[in-house]
């Protein structure tokens, strides 16, 4: 039954989906669906207002407490989505006269937030802490507040940021550190704390919503200053309840994350690709046309793996992005390995 949830029908054919971020199989989990249903009947289809007005239904507190406890943070705040979280957090904290040091490959919503904030935006080469330090040396003294921002597990590459060194640089240069954990949450624990974590409830948690974790003071400040929190309606009760139920399953069954990771590693090992840190394996194709050709060839064999092209990734790095779920069967993964092995020779 579980592996069936990854079979999708398109144009009269069925495909095994290797492009979903539902890494832990929680999007269709019976407990998650039941919680969403019950919350809708009890609290309504929508929140009805911004959380600061009357939209703060009783499901928020347990959801935020659970998120904070899972990551060992003091406090959590749930936003409408991961996009709204990054936008709201960055624009609330940073402004003109400040500087944001961002990894070259951070998600679009981090960049949008950085640009909207009015702060100076400096990009360091992907995971290059030497370059980051050079930028801090060159610019930190001339700005008021500084923020270093990266992703824990990078969404399109699946590699991890050197968070320990980034935390140390943050201390040394008096800069806040922030990491987006959209693709690590539920799969691998970060090695060190950041001042600020953001993430989404739409990937491993299988539903919808975004969150930020940090100190109580940070969260209290954001409640009254993050514009995408203040001026947007709260999450529907169903999304809150679904997320809470998903987090409970996640905590009770940590093996879900290990299985997704193991399947990703099984494919990488079989094809001689670098060992993945999380449930994402990129297969570089180069040009957009080459990526589409591989994607089409896999589709012909029954595997759904869309090509990822610019502007999602830099020009010349078009790729297939394989995403694994604990609900993929070993047979499904072995089928994909066989199809890809044929293409790679």
Ligand X SMILES: *Cc1c(COP(=O)(O)O)cnc(C)c1O
Q: Which residues are catalytic?
A: 21, 107, 151, 155, 180, 183, 203
- Sheet harboring 307-308: ordered strands across? 280-286, 318-323, 307-308
Q: Does 282 engage in binding with ligand X (CB under 6 A)?
A: no
Of 76-84, 235-243, 282-290, 296-304, the segment contacting ligand X by CB under 6 A is 76-84
List Cβ neighbours of 256 (8 Å cut-off, separation of 6 or more).
Answer: 23, 24, 25, 26, 186, 249, 250, 326
Q: Is the dihedral of CA 268, 269, 270, 271 positive or negative?
A: positive
Q: Quote the CA–CA distance of 216 and 194 in Å, as a whole number.
A: 14
Which residue of 113, 210, 234, 236 would you call a contact of ligand X, by CB under 6 A?
Answer: 210
Q: Quote the CA–CA distance of 55 and 49 in Å, as a whole number.
A: 4
Q: Quote the CA–CA distance of 171 and 165 in Å, as a whole number.
A: 10
Q: Which is nearer to ligand X, 177 or 202 (CB)?
A: 202
Q: Does 83 engage in binding with ligand X (CB under 6 A)?
A: yes
Q: Does 23 engage in binding with ligand X (CB under 6 A)?
A: no
Least Å from the CB of residue 155 to ligand X: 4
Q: How many residues does the chain have?
A: 345
Q: Quote the CA–CA distance of 276 and 157 in Å, as a whole number.
A: 9
Least Å from the CB of residue 295 to ligand X: 20
Least Å from the CB of residue 201 to ligand X: 7
Q: Does 250 engage in binding with ligand X (CB under 6 A)?
A: no
**DSSP-assigned beta bridge partners for residue 179:** 150, 197
Q: Does 82 engage in binding with ligand X (CB under 6 A)?
A: yes
One character per residue 98-127, x = contact with ligand X (rule: CB under 6 A): ---------x-x------------------
Looking at beta carbons, which residue is closest to ligand X?
82
Of 96-104, 175-183, 215-223, 240-248, the segment contacting ligand X by CB under 6 A is 175-183
Which residue of 22, 133, 157, 180 would you call a contact of ligand X, by CB under 6 A?
Answer: 180
Q: Which is nearer to ligand X, 214 or 332 (CB)?
A: 214
Please tell me whether residue 187 adopts helix, strand or coil conformation: coil
C-alpha distances out from residue 241 to 77, 209, 220, Å: 15, 11, 23
Contacts with ligand X by CB under 6 A lie at 81-83, 86, 107, 109, 151, 155, 180, 182-183, 200, 202, 210
């Amino acid at each position: 039954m579980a592996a069936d949830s990854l079979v999708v029908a398109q144009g009269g054919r069925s495909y095994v989906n290797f492009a979903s971020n539902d890494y832990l199989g929680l999007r269709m989990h019976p407990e998650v669906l039941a919680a969403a249903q019950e919350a809708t009947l009890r609290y309504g289809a929508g929140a009805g207002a911004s959380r600061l007005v009357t939209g703060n239904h009783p499901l928020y507190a347990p959801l935020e407490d659970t998120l904070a406890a899972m990551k060992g943070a003091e406090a959590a705040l749930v936003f409408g989505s991961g996009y709204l979280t990054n936008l709201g957090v960055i624009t609330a904290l940073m402004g003109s006269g400040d500087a944001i040091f961002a990894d070259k490959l951070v998600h679009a919503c981090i960049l949008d937030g950085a640009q909207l904030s009015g702060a100076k935006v400096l990009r360091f080469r992907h995971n290059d802490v030497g370059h980051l330090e050079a930028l801090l040396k060159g610019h930190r003294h001339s700005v008021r507040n500084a923020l270093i921002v990266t992703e824990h597990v990078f969404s399109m590459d699946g590699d991890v940021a050197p968070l320990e060194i980034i935390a140390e640089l943050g201390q040394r240069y008096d800069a806040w550190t922030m990491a987006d954990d959209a693709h690590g949450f539920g799969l691998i624990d970060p090695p060190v704390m950041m001042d600020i974590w953001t993430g989404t409830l739409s990937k491993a948690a299988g539903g919808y919503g975004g969150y930020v974790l940090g100190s109580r003071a940070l969260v209290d400040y954001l409640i009254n200053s993050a514009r995408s929190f203040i001026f947007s309606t709260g999450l529907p009760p169903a999304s809150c309840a679904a997320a809470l139920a998903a987090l409970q399953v996640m905590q009770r069954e940590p093996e879900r994350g290990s299985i997704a990771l193991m399947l990703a590693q099984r494919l990488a090992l079989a094809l001689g690709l670098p060992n993945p840190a999380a449930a994402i394996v990129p297969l570089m194709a180069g040009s957009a046309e080459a990526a589409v050709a591989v994607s089409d060839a896999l589709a012909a064999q029954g595997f759904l793996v869309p090509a990822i092209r610019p502007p999602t990734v830099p020009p010349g790095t078009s790729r297939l992005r394989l995403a694994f779920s604990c609900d993929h069967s070993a047979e499904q993964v072995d089928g994909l390995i066989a199809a890809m092995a044929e293409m790679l020779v």
